[in-house]
Amino acid sequence: MKLAQRDRLFVLTGAGVSAESGLATFRGSGGLWNGYRVEQVATPEAWEADPALVWRFYSMRRREAAAASPNAAHRTLARIENRLGDRFFLCTQNVDDLHERAGSLRVHHMHGSLFQSRCEGCPFLVADTACYESEDSLPRCPRCGSSLRPRIVWFGEIPLDMEGIYRRLDAAAALLVVGTSGSVYPAAGFVHRAVALGIGAMYIGPESPANAEAFDEIRLGPATRELPRLLEEIGAG
């Protein structure tokens, strides 16, 4: 991957960047929670049917993410951002805060954030690290009394700020995708949009993603090994 002096880099990350911090990916082995598939707990239908189950799942994920630390992949992305400044944009599908804790500033969480809750009935949005694990302690909105839900984009819901994402992607000279299976849209389609616009695209991860054929280059390996190598190569940009 070559970046000229003024080139912008758009990075898309998925669960694979946090895998080496000990957070389970969705589709790998261990991608189950108490025997449930993610699709059974991360949907508006699941929330409708059993909010206590959904809160138990996200409480567990809050606990695990809070106990995890950023790894060399998160840190290397923060170093690349440090060099590129405003020419860097990181769009993550991850809801953990490990990119921020590694020092990334220009991060957009397209699938929401684990440590925020929002009201179902009004625009109330709040930072929230609490765990809600019993039926009778489920949180309510202090403003309107409706249920508070995790601020997560579930299957069937629209990711946050797609317009801003496409504006950044369209302005980029290169797309770097790290640690995502390429099976969940719209994120899995970013590479196809990049190809249509003539933007070079590279994938990093231990396995070929489902949308592999669209990439110009695929580097098979763990993100903590491949990202530092890439940083060496692109130098000061």
Choose the stretch contacting ligand APR; rule: CB under 6 A; options: 10-18, 43-51, 60-68, 166-174. Answer: 10-18
- C-alpha span between 91 and 180 (Å, rounded): 12
Residue 159 site contact among Zn ion, ligand APR, none (CB < 5 to 8 Å, cut-off depends on kind): none
Applying the rule CB under 5 A, the residues between 161 and 220 that interact with Zn ion are none
Query: What is the SS3 assignment for 113?
Result: strand
141 makes contact with Zn ion (CB under 5 A):
yes
Q: Nearest approach, Cβ of 35 to ligand APR (angstroms)?
A: 17
- C-alpha span between 203 and 221 (Å, rounded): 10
If phi > 0 it is left, if psi is from -120 to 50 it is alpha, else beta; for residue 106 that is beta
| Tokens encoding 204 | 């990093």
15 makes contact with ligand APR (CB under 6 A):
yes
* 99 is known as an active-site residue: no
Task: Give every strand in the sheet of 107-109, ordered side by side.
Answer: 107-109, 88-92, 9-13, 174-178, 200-205, 217-220
Residue 119 site contact among Zn ion, ligand APR, none (CB < 5 to 8 Å, cut-off depends on kind): Zn ion
223 makes contact with ligand APR (CB under 6 A):
yes
Catalytic residue, candidates 74, 99, 109, 111: 111
Number of residues that bind Zn ion (CB under 5 A): 8
Query: What is the SS3 assignment for 218?
Result: strand
Q: Give the residues lining the site for Zn ion (CB under 5 A).
A: 119, 121-122, 124, 141, 143-144, 146
